[in-house]
A and B are shown apart, each in its own frame.
Chain A
Amino acid sequence: MENMGKRVHVITGHFGSGKTEFSVNYVMDLKKELEKVAILDMDIANPYFRSRERQEKLEKLGIAIHFNTYGYDISEDLPAITATVRAPLENYDYETVVDVGGNDSGARILLQFKKYFVKDDSEMLAVINANRPDTDTVEKCINEVESIEEETGIKMDALINNTHMLRETTPEDIIKGFELGEKVKAIKGVPVKFSTCETKYVEALCEAAKKKGYEPVVLEGAGHDPEAAKNGGVEFADLGKDGKMYIYPITLQMRPSWLDVQF
């Protein structure tokens, strides 16, 4: 099997940590490498900025998306999702990204699907942003991870360092998040799988990381292309366990351009 990672990727984390932005990027990259790819929008906590807002774009790319029973985004805040979310979880031909609502309360929804999240087949990821007030220290990050673990009964496999400050992001922000993640790893044993970085800042981040004594490795795609998966000799599933700084380039999909208008 060419599959270098897990088949189901569960994306959890604090609200506003960037789970949806990461999930949409990740599923789009998966699609470039695999035929059958799905995203499950299980966010029933937040009414805005959900992956279902990109339904048209994702479906055009051939990505299956499941969210409510209507099959299109409606103006509702009912805590309900469609039964079809089980389809890609049960179909082993599908690689699936599960975009979960924020915090432990948002992750509660995972309980009813727990049987699909088995160790060899799925990975549980927590997105952290060291610039968010509720995940800006080691203690708060561990608390976030543990509260989601307690709520779901599923062990966290890795962190995604998604530290940014929107248009004001500097390489130092991303490195700060990486260092925070490394400290979490030292205490909790949960590694930083990779650090996201907008494509345009990747070069600057690599330089800044080297200056700090870290070894940056820029990932290409979502890691299922055998060439891209080499990643300095580490399998995609094991990223972050060796202390290298793996950089996952992203492009913004969720944020409308006018939000960055300066007065």
Chain B
Amino acid sequence: MAEKKLMKGNEAFAVAAIAAGCRYYFGYPITPQNEVPEYMARELRAAGGHFIQAESELASISFIYGAAAAGARCMTSSSSIGIALMQEGIGSCIICELPCVIINVMRGGPGIGSIQPAQADYTMVTKGGMNGDAHNIVYAPSTIQEAVDMIYKAFDVADDYRNPVIICVDGMIGQMMEPVVVPEFKPVLEEKDIEKVKPWALCGHKNKRDRNKINSVWLDHTELEVAINERIWPKYERAMKELPEWESKNLEGAEAVFVAYGSTARIAVEAMELLEEEGIKIGLIRPKTLWPFPDAAFDEIDKETTKVVISVELSMGQMLQDIKLALEGRYPTALINRVGGMLLTPNEIVERTKAVLGGMK
């Protein structure tokens, strides 16, 4: 097993991508994710890859479009407003079925907002941002090791589904330090083998086959409907079956259930421990995928004891909407949140949980 190192989140994300075989990175600096492009600028060439500092996020995602079309494993990273700027390109990658990995280290918004941690890009990454009928596959790790493992896997998932995969973390996970084991470096797909693995890629027909085409505009709109119905949507239906991931904790006998992801889940767990000391039993559902949302997790809630399901998030109830859809009216819901770059503290969650439960009696 590889050696454990103490790494900053952003550094570890970059290492994980290189380990997963990513050899093309395009990015533009923005706090709080700058260590990702810094690491790539320093290390990617040594690993036989290519780093380009793009002139904007719009350029980053356009580079991604090109590299992915040629069959390369490629990644970009940014923060909130930078990801917002990429939306047109992300939508194009989706309809053109181009696999890529995008890391979003979220900060306060909307607009330029703040540089402190937030989770307010939830709706943008899970339900659009880009126009048209489209989804990103979205992973939301709570620890740096989990982020490393998810990024490592994300390239395979992106290739499998031929769709962008977004790793969505709050600024805290990008900036904090944790012990990490970097997974084994995967062999890189060589140019001569691309055609075997990605027969759709634009890597030159050499007069041996028909030209591959990657099409982003449909002159015949009936064909676009067919593309969405027959190519894009069946993949999403498969994703909804295969991809949802979550972790549940202490659901049996819980008076209330917290739903939280990312850093917030860790703060919520400490709050749960504090509440338990006061005799208040709280369960946790921690979505690891935000899209597809882990609806099935909510079937595990203890019907006998649970009075309320509480979304604990750093946004104005964006995840709460998905929780309500998953619950289908089975339980009342509540929201405990902070926004703008402010974190919740365990004690604040404790007090606000007591207020929620007190209001229900």
- Chain A residues within CB distance 8 Å of chain B: 15-16, 46-49, 75-77, 129, 131-133, 136, 164-166, 168, 256-259, 261, 263
Q: Are A15 and B8 in contact (CB under 8 A)?
A: yes
Q: Which residue of B lies closest to A129 (CB)?
A: B6
User: Is A48's CB under 8 angstroms from B32's CB?
Assistant: yes
CB–CB B176/A136 < 8 A: no
A258→B312 CA distance, assembly (Å):
15
In the complex formed, the residue of B with least CB distance to A164 is: B6
* 10 cross-chain pairs, A with B, having the tightest CB-CB distances, nearest first: A75-B114, A48-B175, A131-B6, A258-B270, A261-B266, A261-B269, A258-B267, A77-B31, A16-B8, A133-B5
- When C-beta atoms are compared, the residue in chain A nearest to B114 turns out to be A75
Question: Could you show 14 A-B contacts with beta carbons less than 8 Å apart?
Answer: A16-B7, A16-B177, A47-B31, A47-B175, A48-B171, A132-B5, A166-B178, A168-B179, A257-B270, A258-B267, A258-B270, A261-B270, A263-B265, A263-B269
Task: Determine whether the beta carbon of B175 is less than 8 Å from that of A46.
Answer: yes
Q: Out of B8, B341, B346, which one reaches A258, CB within 8 Å?
A: B346
Per-residue 0/1 for B84-127: is the Cβ within 8 Å of any A Cβ (1 yes, 0 no)?
00000000000000000000000010000011100000000000
Interface Cβ pair total, 8 Å cutoff: 73
- Are B172 and A48 in touch, CB under 8 angstroms? yes
Closest to B174 in A: A48
Cα-based distance from A240 to B136 in the complex (angstroms): 55
CB proximity of A7 to chain B, nearest CB, Å: 31
Q: Is the CB of A165 within 8 A of B4?
A: yes
Contacts of B35 on A, CB cut-off 8 Å? 15
Q: Is B143 an interface residue (CB 8 A)?
A: yes
Q: Are B8 and A136 in contact (CB under 8 A)?
A: no
Determine whether the beta carbon of A16 is less than 8 Å from that of B143.
no
CA distance A250 to B7 in the complex (A): 21
Q: What are the residues of chain A within 8 A of B11 when measuring CB–CB? A: 16, 133
Decide if B247 is an interface residue (CB 8 Å cutoff): yes
A258 touches B175 (CB 8 A): no
Q: Cβ of B116: which chain A residues have Cβ within 8 Å of it?
A: 47-48, 75
Q: Give Cα A259–Cα B4 distance, bound, in whole angstroms.
A: 18
**Nearest CB to that of B341 among chain A residues?**
A75
Q: How far is the CA of A164 from the CA of B115 in the complex (A)?
A: 28
Residues of A within 8 A of B8 (CB): 15-16
**B window 167-206: CB within 8 A of A:** 171-172, 175-179
Task: Provide the residues of chain B in CB contact with A76, threshold 8 Å.
Answer: 115
Do A165 and B179 have beta carbons less than 8 Å apart? yes
User: A16, B6: Cβ atoms under 8 Å?
Assistant: yes
Asked whether B143 lies within 8 Å of A166 as measured between CB atoms, the reply is no
Q: Number of contact residues on B: which range applies?
A: 20 to 34
Q: Is the interface of A mostly helix, strand, loop or mixed?
A: loop
Minimal Cβ-Cβ distance residue in A for B42: A134
A residues near B115, Cβ cutoff 8 Å = 47, 75-77
Q: Are A258 and B269 in contact (CB under 8 A)?
A: yes
A256 contacts which chain B residues (CB < 8 A)? 345
Q: List the B residue with the shortest CB-CB distance to A163.
A: B6
Closest-CB distance, B169 to chain A (whole angstroms):
13
B142 at the interface (CB under 8 A from A): yes
Known contacts A132-B5, A258-B267, A258-B269; 10 additional CB pairs below 8 A are A15-B35, A16-B6, A47-B175, A48-B171, A132-B6, A165-B6, A166-B178, A168-B4, A261-B266, A263-B286
In the assembled complex, B249 has its CB within 8 A of some CB on chain A: yes
CA of A259 to CA of B108 in the docked complex: distance in angstroms? 20
Closest beta carbon of chain B to A208's beta carbon, Å: 19
A129 to B345, CA, bound (A): 29
A47 partner, pick from B32, B177, B178, beta carbons under 8 A: B32
If A75-B114, A263-B143, A263-B249 touch, whether A166 touches B269 (CB-CB below 8 Å) is: no
Which B residues from 246 to 288 make CB contacts under 8 A with A? 247, 249, 265-267, 269-270, 286
Write out the residue numbers on chain A whose beta carbons fall within 8 Å of the beta carbon of B108: 75
A20 to B116, CA, bound (A): 18
Contacts of A16 in B (CB 8 A): 6-8, 11, 177
Among residues of B, the one whose C-beta sits closest to the C-beta of A259 is B176
Bound CA span A16–B174, Å: 12
Contact (A131, B5) CB under 8 Å given A47-B115, A258-B346, A259-B176: yes
A165 to B145, CA, bound (A): 14
From residue 8 to 32 of chain B, which have CB atoms closer than 8 A to chain A? 8, 11, 31-32
In the complex the two chains form, what is the Cα distance from A261 to B176 in whole Å?
A: 14
Q: How far is the CA of A188 from the CA of B32 in the complex (A)?
A: 35
In whole angstroms, how far apart are the Cα atoms of A166 and B11 in the complex?
17
Most interface-central of B4, B6, B267 (chain A CB within 10 A): B6
